[in-house]
Structure 1
Amino acid sequence: MERFLIAFNSGNRITGPILITTSPRSSCPLACPLRKGATGQEAGVCYAEHGYLGHYIWTGLDRTQAGQKISGRIPVYSFDELLAIVRNR
C-alpha cells in the first residue's frame, strides 16, 4: 500500500505556504543517478536521502502504515485519502 505525508500549509521557504506532499522512498526510480548506490559522479547526492527528510521523514514513512502516525505525531495517508484531500481543497 502506498503511503504519503501531507503538509497542509507548508512552512518551506522555497514552496511557500501551499499544500505539499511527500511520497515514499520507493516512488523514486531505480535508474535515478542521484540515488545511493548509483554509479557516476552524482551518486548519493539525492536531497531527499539526507538530513531531516531522509533520516527522519522517509524512514518513518517506510516504517509506518497509512492510518497511523510517525512517532505518534505525523499522520500517514493512503493514496485514496491523498486524492480526496487534494480534490476537496
Structure 2
Amino acid sequence: MKIALLALLGLVLGALGGAALGIGAGLAWTEIFKTSDLKGYSGMLVFFTFMPLGAVIGGLGGATLFGVMAFRDTKIAIERESTRRHDS
C-alpha cells in the first residue's frame, strides 16, 4: 500500500513539475525558433503541446522514481528485521 501511495504522490508531483518545465521549454521554443504570434499561435503551441507532454513525461517519471524508492525502502526494511531476529 505504501508503494502505491508513494507512486501516486510521485505521479501528481511529477505532473506538476513536468507541466511547469513544459511551459518553460515551450516558451524557449517560441523564442528560439521565432514562432508566429498571429492569433495566439505561440500560446496555443505552448499550452496545448508542450505543457501536456511535460505533464505526461513528468508524471510517469515521478511515479516510477517514487515507486522504485518505496520498493527499495521496503526491501531494505525487511532485510534489517531479518538480521535483528538472527542476532537474538
Bin for the TM-score computed over the shorter chain:
under 0.3
Structure with bigger RCO (C-alpha 8 Å, 6+ apart): 2
Flag the structure with higher strand content: 1
TM-score under structure 2 normalisation?
0.24
